[in-house]
Amino acid sequence: MTPFEQRVLERVRFLYGDDESEVIVERICDLVRRYASLTKERPDSLWTEKDAFLITYADSIIKDAERPLVMLQQFLSEYCRDIFTTIHILPFFPFSSDDGFSVIDYREVNPEFGTWDDVRSINENFDLMIDLVINHASRESVWFMDFVNDQPPGRDFFIEQDKETDVSMVVRPRNTPLLVPVHTRRGVRHVWATFSEDQIDLNFKNPSMLLELIDIFLSYVAVGARFLRLDAIAYLWKSLGTSCIHLPQTHEVVKLMRDVLERVAPEVVLITETNVPVEENISYFGMGDEAHMVYQFGLPPMVLHALYRGNAAYLTSWAQQIPPLPPGCTYLNFTASHDGIGVRPVENLLPANEVEEMIDTVRRYGGFVTMKTNTDGTESPYEMNVSLFDALMGSRRGPDEWQIPRFICSQVIMLSMRGIPAVYIHSLTATPNDVANVERTGRMRSINRTRWLFDDLETRLANSNTPNAEVFDTLSRLLQIRKQQPAFHPDAGQTVKSLNKALFIIKRVSLDRAQVVYALCNVSAVNIELAVSDLLDDGEQVIADLMGESSISEAQDMLKILPYQCVWLQVSHPYKDTAE
């Protein structure tokens, strides 16, 4: 037995016991052999400072009579080739709800969006990130039709419970019933549905379910996926009498998927999506043997809080305490996405009254709040649903004239931090709240899921007087500057400094210690003056302003930073060939 087979056998035994474990391992090995032609040499590095992601739906850009994936490819080719390396196309499969996250068929492209050839066309110029919606499937899927009709294989792919089962211990991100009734050939049955009555949880206690999903995610690698995102992975394994979140079996499944990827496609990066407090989130790194990358879920609400209050103290403290990364792991940094801005990630990080004030401010700026049900039956905020651009139209004191610089400040904070930046398409295009979309769908998350008409967006980007053009041009320029700086390599050193409560300050040092960059972001509406000697460490001296916008006195003893201004200062230093 090879080391790979032995490792897989141990994981299978942990999940399913000794019975049939060797048969299951052989079936996994059959899958590995089937996709053996994908195998490439292991790369020296999985990422560099040039990496930047764009998050988008397949139909975020539309035009009459054109396939959305074709229009997306046109937009990306015309506007994004010099600034993004990877495109995260959110689920583009046939679906029944939740804008793609209730998958009907995991192996087909939604014909309303386009074809696999359209996906491959995007892959010609960009790496791809593809979602494996692993926790649940649509009730319109063939699998669920099998369940309803008591036919294999789907009849054993879902979790059936008596309607009187006590599920009070189960942790959930929703306030809908967990067990939903379904009319089947065997009468009314109640099935597990963590997220909605249309998203029925899959039964991973059935090894055939696991094998099917492994086959599916390897098929995504075969069509060009360089990054694989495990959606809602935290809720994967269910065991009554537990919280059913982050169970050891769930972590073991992630490890098994990592093992398979290491064998078949060592250049592919595994990403887990877990909108939970930081310690729970980073548990998916394991010992460097689970996810290569996790989302930095604390970043969006911490940045929003700092910009609302004009005070970076909590943001600074949080960033200073980010745990060290295991080797070969990094963060995906983001400030906005297709989902809302999570509230759970700031549990025990921000005062409760300030979290409530942040939520109230989001509501004032046209946003909504999604609630979740707690184990004691009470409800509490789960996420804030709002366009980030509109969320930053003002501070907690009300709207003001600083919306665009405040928004750009939020993005520079993200671009400066250790990890890989991921920009949501509606941040790139300064998209406002889409309340009409909420009214059309009845879902609060739709407020930040606009579909741009290609001609309308093109007209706005061509007009330098629009917020859309100003934000797009500024972010494009900053991303182009960033990718030239070795100090912004995802693995480069990071030190967070606390010198002024209005300033968020990060020092980044390249892996070869040849470049040092200080990122300073003023999160307030007031001018800040900072003594350069207070900022720099011994022997350092400013040699370049990478953005070309800072105001440093001729004697280089004072730095003036305007409201919401950000600067990247490159400095000379005495430790190029020594440890920092």
As annotated, the active-site residues are 231
Distance (Å, whole) CA 148 – CA 144:
6
73, 122 Cβ separation under 8 angstroms = yes
Q: Which of 282, 292, 305 is nearest to 261 (CA)?
A: 292
Q: Which residues pair with 99 in a beta bridge?
A: none
Stretch (H or E) spanning 70 = helix 68-79
* Helix/strand/coil for 371: strand
- For the CA atoms of the chain, what is the radius of gyration? 24
Dihedral pair phi/psi, residue 496, rounded to 5°: -105, 125
Based on the number of CB atoms within 10 Å of its own CB, is 279 exposed (0-12), middle (13-18) or buried (19 or more)?
exposed
Q: How many residues does the chain have?
A: 580
Residue 103 gets which letter from DSSP? B
| Helix 207-222 × helix 21-34 angle, to 10° | 10
CA pair distance 540, 535, nearest whole angstrom = 10
Cβ proximity of 444 and 533 under 8 Å:
no
Q: How far apart are the first and last CA of the chain?
A: 45
Task: Answer yes or no: are the C-beta atoms of 535 and 376 closer than 8 Å.
Answer: no
User: In whole angstroms, what is the distance from residue 2 CA to residue 9 CA?
Assistant: 10
Range list of β-strands (E), 12-168: 53-56, 61-62, 86-89, 127-132, 136-138, 160-161
Q: Tokens 């609060």 identify what position? A: 444
Within 13 Å and on the Cβ side, how many CA atoms surround 45?
A: 11
Contact yes or no for 345/298 (Cβ under 8 A) = yes
Question: What is the 3-class SS of 150-183, one letter each residue?
Answer: CCCCHHHCECEECCCCCCCCCCCCCCCCCEEEEE
Name the one residue in this structure whose structure tokens are 């994981």.
Answer: 11
Give residues with Cβ within 8 angstroms of 266, minimum separation 6.
39, 40, 41, 42, 43
Contact status, residue 295 vs residue 493, Cβ threshold 8 Å: no
Taking CA 570 as the corner, what is the angle to CA 565 and CA 572, rounded to the nearest 5 degrees? 145
Of the candidates 377, 344, 376, the residue with the CA atom closest to the CA atom of residue 234: 344
Amino acid making up residue 530: L
